[in-house]
């Protein structure tokens, strides 16, 4: 069975990282539990994040993939 070129997967291409938009009342601790990642890892993935000043709809990277 031949696979059309448009359906081929580029193995060298990296998957995109998972991004979460902050909703009202969410905390980094809650996100760490939801995405099975430590708060420290969340902070390292988001070096520009100011913990005391996270607004609604702030995009947070929650995976390295």
Q: How far is CA 8 from CA 16, 59, 63, 65, in A?
A: 17, 30, 25, 20
Scanning the structure block, which residue is given the tokens 């969340």?
42
Query: What mean pLDDT comes out for the span 28-54?
Result: 94
Q: Which residues pair with 21 in a beta bridge?
A: 59
- d(CA 49, CA 60) in angstroms, rounded, equals 8
pLDDT tens digit sequence for 8-27: 455 556 667 899 999 999 99
pTM to 2 decimals?
A: 0.69
């Amino acid at each position: 069975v031949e696979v059309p070129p448009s359906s081929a997967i580029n193995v060298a291409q990296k998957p995109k990282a998972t991004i979460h938009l902050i909703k009202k009342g969410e905390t980094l601790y809650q996100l760490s539990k939801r995405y099975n990642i430590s708060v420290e890892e969340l902070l390292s993935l988001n070096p520009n994040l100011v913990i005391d000043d996270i607004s609604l709809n702030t995009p947070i990277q929650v995976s390295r993939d």
